[in-house]
Structure 1
Amino acid sequence: MAPKNITQVSEFLLEFSEEPKLQPLIFGVFLSMYLITVFGNLLIILAISSDSHLHTPISDFHLHTPMYFFLSNLSFVDICFTSTTIPKMLWNIQTQSQVITYEGCITQMYFYILFAGLDDILLTVMAYDRYVAICHPLHYPVIMSPQLCGLLVLVSWIMSVLYSLLHSLMVLRLSFCTDLEIPHFFCEIKELVQLAYSDTFLNNMMMQFGAGLLGGGTLTGILYSYSKIVSSIYRISSAQGKYKAFSTCASHLSVVSLFFCTSLGVYLSSAGTYSSHSSAAASVMYTVVTPMLNPFIYSLRNKDIKRALKRFLGMETISR
């Protein structure tokens, strides 16, 4: 089989499900999850931005302001993260076409890695925020200043952009065989590299190194933060104080567990046991389900978010 140079590759085929009878069901399920994700996270952003207690400026800085600043950024990233994959999948099902152009595939892969990395880093930044709030409450307004919060978000974007750009450039150097079927619902980098005709050693090494550095490194930071948090909570004398301190971390811990357990399972799976179907199922968990559940997790377990949502929707005025 003669290799096809990468400059001649025009399109790929996305084959998530080969059963035509399942297409309407898949379309309905993913459309519902996508709409819930977009409107749920958008509602969180609007509720936080409209409540002066949750986005107070420097003159009125209080203990939980950075947490909601990071949460609004996380919600925005989750909307973008889901929007990089699901709309194209829905369009393909609606038009009964599995085609995605080469340019569209590389672009989708770039933004997918970008927002996945942002999700990863922002969750770590939020863990650090909770660590400072619980372990150093008296110095919290000084340490987590608005300038530092803005800088942390800016650095998160820069790191994610560079990380995604590096992976994309390494994929651009590959040549592909004539068989260009991707058994996934989006252009996932591991599936794309497996289709390459040329040597993919550097790409595989970079994926493993990236998973260890970005995924493993951030997870280590989160675990370290929570080890300090648990130690501080244990030293609190009153049961009510322990519960109040832990309740501020419960939502974040739930989201971290969902995101890391599924995403690391995909990228750290060895080549010998790798399965496209299991990878696609796990990818659905952290690209669709986790962003969809984030608004529910934070709104159901956080009194400030509940209050902000009631104010935004006018429910508090009605109840009064």
Structure 2
Amino acid sequence: MREYQEKLEAEVKLNEQLLEERETQLSETQDQLDATQKELLQSEKLSALKRLVSSIGHEVSTPLGVSRTASSYLIEESDVVLSSFQNNTMTKSQFEKYLTDSREAGELLTTNLTRAHELMLAFKEVAVDQISEQKRDINLREYIQDVLLSLKPTYKNAPVEVRNNISPEIELNIDAGAIAQIVTNLITNSLMHGFKDATVAGTIVLSSETTTDEYILIYMDDGKGISTELQQHVFEQFYTTRKGSGGTGMGMYIIQELVKERLFGDIEFNSDEGQGINIRIALPKSLVA
């Protein structure tokens, strides 16, 4: 009995030691998973920012190119008129034409430089927010309009209409960068999955509702939707139906993390195959500015 008891105690001690080692391994594995998750989130954020920089750079080049052409034309015409004036050969019709052309060139310059200025302001605000992760006061409708403006180069040539129907009265003190990344990921997902890489016509609508305790940000598209079977995997990491075709499987997972961890809200996803998607993001009124 004594030998059996000693043997049993030794086995118990060994099992306890193995259990401690397993718990240590599991803890280390969890720490590695947490670190990897943070790296993936940061990588996805930087990838979104890189795409934003690329699209904005391309978009800004158009109004700047038009402005450069208009200013060059204005300089050339001014030189011609100045030469005619100095040589006493300028006619009334030539001067009138110069004034008319100058005004048109000025209007062209104003329109295109204003466009470039708006794009750069929107890009600067959104980009800084995504990097800083700091809370600040925003008007939800106006801020999302800036986000949509910065994203417009990605869908301006697509047969997809994006509408901002959010109430102009929602003022929040919030992590604005999280809002920007959520909207960016939602638009990207809709274009890629709902509208087949933006080749199919459709509509995206952002709207809002107000309850006693929450502001609800509603995102809808009328794309191809998601089957009931696939919906249970929507928020899973690395789950994508576009593996090898540009899908990372991180888009909706990141959205859920941002809503819960950085905005202290909740998210609901609803869809029917062929009927588009409906996403409701609840933001607590404690975030009111």
Q: TM-score, normalised by structure 2?
A: 0.27
Which structure has the highest strand share of the two? 2
Higher relative contact order, structure no. (Cα contacts within 8 Å, ≥ 6 residues apart): 1
Question: Max radius of gyration: which structure?
Answer: 2
Q: If each structure's helix is expressed as a fraction of its own residues, which one has the higher value?
A: 1
